[in-house]
Amino acid sequence: MAKYFGERWLMVGILCALLLWGCESKRLQVVARVGNDAITLQDLENEMLKGRPFHVVETFSLAQKREFLRKMIDNRLQLLVAKEQRLEQRPEIAIQLQDLRKRIAYRAAIDNGVVLKTINEAEIRDFYSHSRVKVRARHILLKLPPNPTDEELQEAMDKANDIVKQLLTGADFSEIAKQYSEDKMTAKRGGDLGYVQWGSRDPEFQRVVFALQKFQISRPVRTSAGIEIIQVVDRQVLPQRPYELAREDIIRTLSRRKQGQLREAYRNYVAELKKTNNVNFLQANIDTLWTWLSSAKSDSARRAGFLNPNRQFDTLSAKDRQMVLVQYKRGEIKVDDFIKLVQKMSRFGNPKPIRHRRQIEQILNSELEFELLAAEGMRRGWDRQRKYRVRYNQLRDQILLDEIHKREVDQKVTITDKQLRDYYQANRDNYKTPPQMEVQEILVTKRDVAERVYSLAKRGSNFDKLAEQYNESLVTKAQRGRLGFITPESHGQISRVASKMKVGEIRGPIKIGPNFSIIKVLSRKEPHYRPFEEVKAMVRRDLHQQLVQKRQQEWLAELRSRVPTRIFEDVLHHNMATDPKTN
């Protein structure tokens, strides 16, 4: 049996590689060159697979794949300029890359020291084998009380066995589900669960459902939902990426299912690292920091810092900032480091002042764990594993692309006041207000009531009084149904109808979901051009975006003329064409 499964896995891998992506030697074929830099088929495939499922990428036309390749060529051209300018050696970029290396090492330590110790290779391969198939299933559910007694369980199983007997003697599954199933959501659909994929359901349920043949009915099976009787009505085999490419996504899926186990494994792993690194929180120094911060409440000279997290450390002396808060084998965390952490946190959300001592320890502990894990990842060489090197290179390239774009495009775009005014005059329609209608609405739930209200309104009854009496909207009832001024796009069907009405006109009943509306247009504001000063910021944004795009295209054209590039169309076409009609 083990030999059978081993051969089966080998054949699945070979077939996927040959039929879907081509053999490994083909994937290493060069599909484009940028100067002396080569782009392989594998590079292109990896780029297309970023954030996309395999079956979607497989449907890309040759033209779509060529467009991906052209963008990769443009990025390589820009990276050549970044290399010429030695951006990696600039202090501000070097700091970013140093931080990136630590983040990659931190991730590698968690993956190798926690995740892969909790999720084993056999689980990943088992998930992979089942993920090729999705099944459409229906079920009949008999619910169980919490902690059922043996008698309650036996009673439910006897009832389920009786249902199975009816099904096996020809009873219609859909009708039986409507009659007996206690799953209210699916019973009215004949028990239909739709398509189910591996990993989306209770483990016992999926074990049974994926073992069933088409139209086969299961014996009663106990799951977390109760007692279930399951039938598979359709099976579909999906295109599948090679195992190496699918593995990371599978690990992420399994991680979501094992969050509790992973949290426990993480705590144990970090505790061991703290022990081996002789971690020491200097409680007296932490107390001193907290005493200083908490005393700011009553110290008028420092109260502004207590209330404003961006200023709460302003009056600390250089000596205070060197006080050590945490010591460990490979380093220490000082007050100055702590301040930088708080400031860094403030950049990624609403800054909050330190108002409890435990906040200090939480921040210190979080940083300590990051440092220990990053150091462990580097010490063990996990960060040099291929997938982490690839990830580092991708993120490094993005940092360099952002920086070179800023230098060669953003900083070379300047806008004068005259350009702003000229752009505004040429594009005034973009800064024109839409027509607005002041609308009053009476919303009711019954058509006959709506028709009666509409009839009364058309015969001249006071609309305000009708709104007071009949309007059922909780939002506008106190305002006698007044919606205020609305635009043709702001209120869906109400807006579309009101935009075609005259002042004083009444229309209805208008079907709005399960409800009905009668509306009256009280007044209108016709479109008008907004003055330049009012929309100046919008004009600047729009013009800047246009000029940046123009500069980007000019710069890329310059690079293409300077650096030889070539797409090997025969390699692209013969290995990646999926749509013979597209070229």
Tokens of 88: 């990696």
Please state, in angstroms and rounded to a whole number, the distance separating the CA atoms of residues 549 and 554. 9
Whether residue 79 sits in one domain with residue 111 = no
CATH of the domain at 198: 3.10.50.40
Whether residue 154 sits in one domain with residue 48 = no
**What's the pLDDT score for residue 163?**
96
Residue 430 lies in a domain: no
Tokens of 379: 């010490």
Q: What is the dihedral of CA 440, 445, 449, 455, to 10 degrees?
A: 30
Whether 458 and 450 have beta carbons less than 8 Å apart is answered as no
Q: Which residue type, as a one-letter code, is found at position 165?
A: K
What SS3 state is found at 484? strand
Whether residue 360 sits in one domain with residue 318 = yes
User: Is the model's pLDDT at 343 over the cut of 90?
Assistant: no
Q: How many structural domains compose the chain? A: 4
User: Is the model's pLDDT at 388 over the cut of 70?
Assistant: yes
Residue with the bigger pLDDT between 18 and 303: it is 303
Residue 283 lies in a domain: yes
What domain range includes position 174? 133-237
Whether residue 100 sits in one domain with residue 77 = no
Q: Which residues on neighbouring strands pair with residue 436, listed in sequence order?
A: 525
Whether 164 and 220 have beta carbons less than 8 Å apart is answered as yes
User: Is the model's pLDDT at 579 over the cut of 70?
Assistant: no
Give the model's confidence band at 582: pLDDT under 50 very low, under 70 low, under 90 confident, else very high: very low
pLDDT single digits (tens) 206-265? 889 999 999 999 999 999 899 999 999 999 888 777 888 788 888 988 998 899 999 999
Whether 470 and 444 have beta carbons less than 8 Å apart is answered as yes
Please state, in angstroms and rounded to a whole number, the distance separating the CA atoms of residues 141 and 154. 15
User: Is the model's pLDDT at 7 over the cut of 90?
Assistant: no
**What's the pLDDT score for residue 303?**
44
User: Which are the contacts of 338, defined by CB distance < 8 A and separation ≥ 6?
Assistant: 289, 325, 360, 363, 364, 367
Whether residue 18 sits in one domain with residue 105 = no
User: Which are the contacts of 331, defined by CB distance < 8 A and separation ≥ 6?
Assistant: 371
Whether residue 266 sits in one domain with residue 225 = no
If you count them, how many residues does the chain have? 583
Residue 331 lies in a domain: yes
Q: What is the mean predicted confidence (pLDDT) over 97-114? A: 97
Tokens of 146: 């919490």
Whether residue 516 sits in one domain with residue 445 = yes
**What's the pLDDT score for residue 576?**
61
Q: What is the mean predicted confidence (pLDDT) over 193-206? A: 87
pLDDT single digits (tens) 81-97? 999 999 999 999 999 99
User: Is the model's pLDDT at 311 over the cut of 90?
Assistant: no
Percent of the chain with pLDDT over 90: 73
Whether residue 278 sits in one domain with residue 202 = no
Q: What is the mean predicted confidence (pLDDT) over 102-108? A: 97
User: Is the model's pLDDT at 300 over the cut of 80?
Assistant: no
User: CA nearest 379: which of 109, 576, 181?
Assistant: 109
Residue 250 lies in a domain: no
Give the model's confidence band at 4: pLDDT under 50 very low, under 70 low, under 90 confident, else very high: very low
- CA distances 315 to 296, 301, 333, 361, 500, Å, are 11, 9, 20, 21, 64
Percent of the chain with pLDDT over 70: 90
Tokens of 200: 């989306």
Residue 451 lies in a domain: yes
Whether residue 299 sits in one domain with residue 215 = no
Please state, in angstroms and rounded to a whole number, the distance separating the CA atoms of residues 53 and 66. 19
Q: What is the dihedral of CA 455, 460, 464, 466, to 10 degrees?
A: -30
What SS3 state is found at 289? helix
Whether residue 32 sits in one domain with residue 149 = no
Helical segments of 53-171, H only: 54-57, 62-84, 91-110, 116-118, 121-130, 150-168
User: Which are the contacts of 452, defined by CB distance < 8 A and separation ≥ 6?
Assistant: none
Whether residue 293 sits in one domain with residue 188 = no
Whether 431 and 535 have beta carbons less than 8 Å apart is answered as yes
**What's the pLDDT score for residue 344?**
82
Whether residue 265 sits in one domain with residue 116 = yes
Residue with the bigger pLDDT between 187 and 14: it is 187
Highest mean pLDDT, choosing among 15-24, 254-263, 397-406, 472-481: 397-406
Distance of CA 411 to the CA centre of its chain: 31
Q: Considering 191, 206, 237, which residue would you say is the last residue of a domain?
A: 237
pLDDT single digits (tens) 470-485? 999 989 999 999 999 9
Residue 242 lies in a domain: no
Tokens of 508: 């209805």
Q: Considering 393, 408, 423, which residue would you say is the last residue of a domain?
A: 408
